[in-house]
Every structure is written in C-alpha cells, then in structure tokens.
Structure 1
C-alpha cells in the first residue's frame, strides 16, 4: 500500500523548484529576525523541503471532519460517551499494531491523501500537541494539523458534548494560525496557508442523527420533506460559515469529501431483516450531496482565489458495492471487527470477532472503511477517474494556480 506515495504527478515536480525558491526566500527574511523559534521552525522546513524532493506545491495539510478522518483527537476528550478507537483490534495493521485512535485497522483516508502528497501520513491530532506552542507550530509548518473528531457534524448540535464540534475545530485552527503568525510573521504564515490543502470530510453524523429522529417521530411524507429541506438549509448555512471563516484566515485550497452511502454500512444493514441497504438514509445523503456541487461553485465565485475539489465518496462507494470483485472484495455487507449479525451490532473491541481477510472487506467496523478501502478512496480522489472529483482532483488542487485554472476551464 505504500505505492500510494507514488501518486505525485511528474509534471508538478518541474514547477516545484521555482515555488520552493520563492517560499524559502520569504523564510530567510523571517529568520533574519533573530528569534530562536523562528530559526528552528524555518530550518526544519528547509530540511523537509530538500528531503521531500518530489513533494508538490502543497506545503501542509489541515484536516477537519468526523471519524473517517480522525487520527486520535477523541483520545483526549473526557467522558464515557465519546467515540474512541484507542483499543484493539483497531490499528492491528498500523505500524507496530498500535491503536492510534483511527477508526480503522490501519491508516485512514486522511493518511492516504497525505501520503499521495508526499507526507508520511496524516498530520498529527491537534489535541496531541496543544497547548504547547513549539511542537504545534513546527508540525503546522512542516506537515499540517488534524482537527477531525469522531462523531462531529456540520451542525454543532450533532453529538454535542461528545466530540469536537466543527465550529470548535475551526477555532482550534485559529489558535494554530495565531501561533504561526507569532513565530513566523503574518506574511510567511499566510503564504504557507495559501499553498496548503484544507481537507474536509463531514456530514455523515448529521444524517444519522436526523434519520434516527425522523424514524422516531413517524412523520408523514410531506412533513419529512419539509424537515429535510430545513436540515439541508441549516447544513449549507453552517458549511458556508465554516468555509468563510477558514478563508478569512488564509485557506485557499479546499479538498471536500461528500457524504458516503451511509445506508449500506453494517450498523444500518442490521436494521433490515435481510441485511439490505437502508434506502431512505442513502436518499437523504444523496440529496445533500446534490446541493454541495452548485453551492461550492457559487462560493468559489464569491471568494476570490478560492479553489476546490469536490470528491464523490457516495459514487465511489456505490460503484464498489455494485461490483466488489473488480476491487478484490469478497465481503461488502458485514464488518471485519465487531459483534452480532454482520458484526454490525457492536463496536470493535478486544473481545470482538475478527475476520481473517481484512483486505477483502469494504468495512472495518460497523460504520468505517477498512484500510484497503481508505487506500482505494484516496487513490480515486487524488489521481483516479474524473467522475469521482469535480472540477479537479486533489493532486491538481495541490498544484499551481495555473494548473487549477486550466483544469477549471477544461471542465466547462
């Protein structure tokens, strides 16, 4: 699976030298300020730039979202109701078989997107570094930071009290940005952020919570449609506020992952006597996804310099489940780690029943993808078929402004 690091386009490499030369000259000016922290951080960036060699122009990656991207932030949250993945068998295929807090048997989507851009893995969890300034800024400059939290939704009310809500994730980024500015100065900090990738994958938990509440209410079809429209409006409003706030703090390149085929995860399939997908939940997610594309296009027109790639997790999952053998899967309905029917009735734990062929399962646990699926998803979004990303793929987004403009023009 380490072959994912080879996603980098050779065409990007030819542009790398000029990009890095400009950036390093800016760093040199800041070093002349004489602050020790600036010197340490800038030297690390210089070393990392030379060592990375073929890294494309994305200088760092900042991650926001839910459990599909969380790399351990929830390990640091108090409370027995917080969703955590810091125990076996989670991480069984991670180096040294360590449960890191990723809801996976190994790496997750954020890891493989980062690997495709030349990083070793996803940037570290914010709460593993805060409140220290030195390590936080050093990581923010060299790799980025992950603020993603299992259970988080676009709405602050989703799983409130048991996750890092999205607005809080953005606040944490604001704290990070302030410390970067204090260490590097505003010009260098803003230059770095403008060339970084802001990866966002969220919305699944909003759908789960809403669908569960609607089922309990037993509303009429007309009432459900009205409530669904209200939900979509609230989600788009909050998403807009999030994007605008990040943009105001220097973000320019957004890699957005839409909501997957939620009605087909093992935890939902077990609600059907025959283990079928839950169509109403898929329709709910699909309806929101349909609103994302025109909304993002409109937002980009209103915010000068904003570039984005919208990745279609819904379509990727649908295609994979429709033809699992094409991707080497033998099990698409059940989880690899869990308990009960389809291993979808209980969380993955040290007492769980564990499958033997983890790479042949689409799902690792009752609601999350296996490491291999995460790899294939990142591959599709970074350098796969054009049908899974719009208007450019993640690697094109990480490229120069001219490349993005050309891709945008060709997509029209």
Structure 2
C-alpha cells in the first residue's frame, strides 16, 4: 500500500512539473506537457536496447566515437554523436531526454522498470528492426514484439498502482513511432525489379495497423508517427551511385509507403474513438533540407561525419574512423544515421515548425490535447 501511495503521488507531481538537472549541472524547473513518453521504432530512436541483445549480427553503437558529444563523451547505444531524434523530441515535451531503454531496466529489475514506466516512460526501439518481423536480422526486436513488451510492462504497472491509474497515464502519454526504413531497404535489396510493391505496402500497412490498434487497446491515445525519409540519400545509398547521387527508386518506394501510412492513420482516427495523431513528414523535411543545406548551416548533406572511404560510407563508424571537423555541420553522423544536430532540427520542425511538416496537427498540439479513455 505504501508503494502504491508513493507512486501515485510521484506520478501526480511529475505530470505537472519536473525538476531536472541541465546539461551543465544546474537545477531548473521544466514544465512537462505529457506524463510520459513511450517509444517504438528502429535505430533512429534506439537509445540502447540493442546493447543487451545477444549475437554478433546485431547492430550496436556501443563503442566510440559514438556518443562523443554526449555527456561524458561516452557511447550509449544511440546511433549518433550525441542525442538522437527521440531525445530531442522528448526535450521539446519537457522531459530531460528519451526514456530509458527497456532492456536496460528489465528483466534485471521489475521495480526499476515500473518506476521508469510510471515516471517518464520506456523506449522499446531496436536498431535494425522493422514493421515486418521478416525484416529483422539476428535478434533485433521487431515492432510487434516491442508492442508486446509494453503489454508486459503494463501488467507490472497495474500490479503496482492499479488498472485505472495506468490507463489514465497511458491515455495522456506521448507514443512516438518511427519505423519502416529497414523494411524499404530490405525489400529493395532482396526483391526482383518487378517485385509486388502493392503487396509489400499492404503487408506494412496491415502490421502497422495491428501495432497501433494494440497500443490503443492498452490505453494509448496520442500517436506521434514519423514517416520514412529519403532512404535513397543516406551516404550508404549514395555510395552505390558513380556520381554520388541519391537512389531515386529507393526514395520512390519510401514515398509510396508514406502515402499509404497517411491514409492508414486517417482511417484509424476515424474508427477508433479518442485516437489522435500527428504524422511527421521526415521525407518532406529532408527534401527541403537537401535542396538548401546552407539555410540550416550544413556544409555536407551527402557524406558521413564518421566513416571511411568515398563519402565516408565504405565502412561503419568505428574507433579508428576518420571524423569530420565540425559534427554539427554534417546532416549524417555515420553512413546511415543523422547527426545530433540534424535530429534536433527535425524535432523542432515536428514540434512546432512549418505546418507542412506535420498533419493534421503538430507534435505540440498533439501533446496538449485532452485524451479520453
């Protein structure tokens, strides 16, 4: 009973305001827009889940120079020189950074998992994962399993504070999803030129719909969804072109799925009472950034800051890799992932930037919405 009362009071206080330390160690009062954030997706959002997965074929970012611009210059599992886009979105909402990785909390400590889930949320994102279970290499955590991990977390939370309190928490929380890039890349690499694209889209939509519906049935109401960006323009893809140009076919495949994703979310919102969403157009934002990189202070939109060889894309980012001089002036940190600053600028655009980058509302407006359960 004491534990339930303590957690209930803590949850109420945290939902109003958070007293947290700034990066320079000073204490400041941060107004939090949502009680918690729950994260699902791939390497662009992963904050360390893959560090705990077995096997040598699991993509990890647990070695330097990853994290060189993070606190203490330490690698954390983020595929970034510092924070990733999940962190930057969390900060716009009043959290200090992304909620912790699920596998850093469980199954080692159910108490730690419950406390994190109630007070700030949990990240289930896993590098290399996709919407389809078949996309995943090795022991990565596909979207369906990420959702099932939340279901397990939810049961532990309910045992501590009760089902009604947990449902109220989830209904007001921010559910961030960003996945599909790996599905698109794997399909393009493994299917013949005349592959059944329509069937591929249908599979993605069906699986995404099931995941969102399952989250909704658990109590989720606010969905912030990031679409698939210009996967044909990452350094790894550009290096396949003799001229270093984007792979148009990859971008077209991503664009087709993005259109289907927009229709799916509109349909779900019409059929599931109380569901609200904001669809972030990462594809469109990247297109605008690449067309005028100087406007955002970039000197490179085609090369990796950390890597080797042509466009820095002929190897992964490794301890002996060559680094660019100014990490903030490169869109890409490694051959497939954005830099910390690119993630920050994307988060700001989705939170309260130009209206064309989010629909039908911005992330800020979504966070401010009342939620029913």
Measured against the shorter chain, the TM-score band is over 0.9
SS at match of 2:328: helix
Establish whether residue 235 from structure 1 lines up as the match of residue 212 from structure 2: no
Q: Distance in 1 between matches of 2:51 and 2:18?
A: 31
Tell whether the 8 Å contact from 2:178 to 2:226 is kept in structure 1 after alignment.
Answer: yes
- TM-score, with length taken from structure 2: 0.94
Tell me if 1:182 matches 2:163. Answer: no
Shift of 1:233: 0.3
Query: Cα distance 1:41–1:162, how it changes in 2: closer, same or farther (>3 A)?
Result: same
User: How many angstroms apart in 1 are the aligned matches of 2:300 and 2:278?
Assistant: 30
Answer with 116-125 or 133-142: which moved more. Answer: 133-142
**Distance in 1, Cα, partners of 2:220 & 2:45:** 19
Report whether the alignment pairs 1:173 with 2:162.
Answer: no
1:305 corresponds to which of 265, 269, 274:
274
RMSD across aligned positions (CA): 1.4
2:71 to 95, 115, 125: 95
Aligned match for 2:52, one of 65, 76, 80: 76
TM-score where L is the length of structure 1? 0.85
Q: Distance in 2 between matches of 1:376 and 1:78?
A: 34
What residue is the counterpart of 2:235 in the other structure? 266
Match for residue 39 of structure 1? 5
Cα deviation for residue 279 of structure 1 reads: 0.3
Q: 1:200 corresponds to which residue?
A: 177
Q: Take 2:348 and 2:339, find their aligned partners in 1: how far apart are those partners?
A: 14
> Do the aligned partners of 1:61 and 1:197 also contact (CA within 8 Å) in 2?
yes
Give per-residue Cα distances to partners, 1:222-279, cap 9 Å, x unaligned.
x33xx11110000000001101111111111000000000000000000011101000
Contact 1:83–1:162 (Cα < 8 Å) also in 2: no
Shift of residue 38, structure 1, vs aligned partner = 1.5
Residue 289 (structure 2) aligns with: 320
Alignment size in residue pairs: 361
- How far apart, in 2, do the equivalents of 1:339 and 1:37 lie? 52
- Corresponding residue for residue 29 of structure 1: none
Structure 1 outlier segments of 4+, above 4 Å: none
Contiguous gaps of at least 5 residues in structure 2: 20-28
Measured after TM superposition, the shift of residue 351 of structure 1 is: 1.0
1:283-315 residue CA offsets vs partner (Å, 9 max, x unmatched) = 000011111112111111110110000000000
Q: Which has the higher helix share?
A: 1
5+ long unaligned stretches in structure 1 = 1-34, 405-412
- Say yes or no: does 1:341 pair with 2:310: yes
Instruction: Return the offset for 1:47.
Output: 4.6
SS at match of 1:157: helix
Shift of 1:54: 5.3
Maintained 8 Å contact 2:301/2:331: yes
Taking the TM superposition and a 5 Å limit, the aligned residue runs for 1:2-401 are 35-48=1-14, 49-52=16-19, 55-131=31-107, 132-214=109-191, 217=192, 219=193, 223-224=194-195, 227-401=196-370
